[in-house]
Chains A and B, each alone.
Chain A
Amino acid sequence: QVQLVESGGGAVQPGRSLRLSCAASGFSFSTYNMHWVRQAPGKGLEWVAVISNDGTYKYYAVSVKGRFTISRDSSKNTLFLQMNSLRTEDTAVYYCAREEYGFGDLLYQPPHYWGQGTLVSVSS
């Protein structure tokens, strides 16, 4: 079955960098568009970024554009989120998520299958 396991979270100071990983299994990783979505403690969901199945196209939320980079390595079945210039407001649980159907148009299907998330805490 679809499994998504995030890692790389932790405590970091403002202005520093962190790279999150999402290990995918149980499906053909290179077939699906993938998302990152975050949730600040006690707050709602906030979409972060999406990447096309082949890694060609990427879109970002305004709040992270220019600071975060989404990427993928199909040889390792892994999704990444490089987070630079971190701010206190980036503190959240970060989820990776897969769309339901493969080879789908970008910006059409919603995130369907979700991992359990990894916590990023930005504080001085």
Chain B
Amino acid sequence: QSALTQPPSVSGSPGQSVTISCTGTSSDVGTYNRVSWYQQSPGTAPKLIISEISNRPSGVPDRFSGSTSGNTASLTISGLQAEDEAEYYCSSYTTSSTLLFGGGTKLTVL
């Protein structure tokens, strides 16, 4: 199975908003509401920041929000802060009983 498709990189200035897309198919993103997003800083384990499309785990700022439309999920980070600079991954369960990750998007805060 191919990874979900994410842009390799996005960037924004402090205070701005950025959106990262995650494109799958009708066999994953388009079928289930089980899309999640992770944030990973270099040398550390991934951190779950969004589950079930738009739910934020405890402690995750409400600057992070998620949505879907058809086969594409999106992560929006508003009020960008320097600490948001990291790699972001989406994931979705599939109709083949597997979990698929996106290729990752590097967010640079200018």
Task: Mark A residues whose CB is within 8 Å of B.
Answer: 35, 37, 44-47, 50, 59-62, 95, 100, 107-112, 114-117
Specify the main secondary structure of chain A where it touches its partner: loop
B98 within 8 A of A: yes
Task: Mark B residues whose CB is within 8 Å of A.
Answer: 1, 3, 34, 36, 38, 40, 44-48, 51, 57, 89, 91, 93, 96-104
Say whether B98 contacts A61, CB under 8 Å: yes
Provide the bound-state CA to CA distance between A19 and B99, in Å.
22
Residues of A within 8 Å of B103, CB to CB, are 44
Say whether A110 contacts B34, CB under 8 Å: yes
CB A24 to nearest CB in B, in angstroms, measures 15
Say whether B93 contacts A95, CB under 8 Å: no
CB B56 to nearest CB in A, in angstroms, measures 12
Residues of A within 8 Å of B100, CB to CB, are 47
Across chains A and B, which 9 residue pairs bring their CB atoms closest together, nearest first?
A: A110-B36, A114-B45, A47-B99, A44-B104, A45-B101, A59-B97, A44-B103, A112-B48, A107-B93
Residues of B within 8 Å of A100, CB to CB, are 48, 51, 57
Say whether B45 contacts A112, CB under 8 Å: no
Provide the bound-state CA to CA distance between A84 and B36, in Å.
30
Given contacts A110-B48, A111-B48, A112-B57, contact A47 B98 (CB under 8 A): yes
Say whether B51 contacts A109, CB under 8 Å: yes
10 contacts between A and B (CB under 8 A): A44-B103, A62-B1, A95-B46, A107-B34, A109-B51, A110-B48, A112-B48, A112-B57, A114-B45, A116-B44
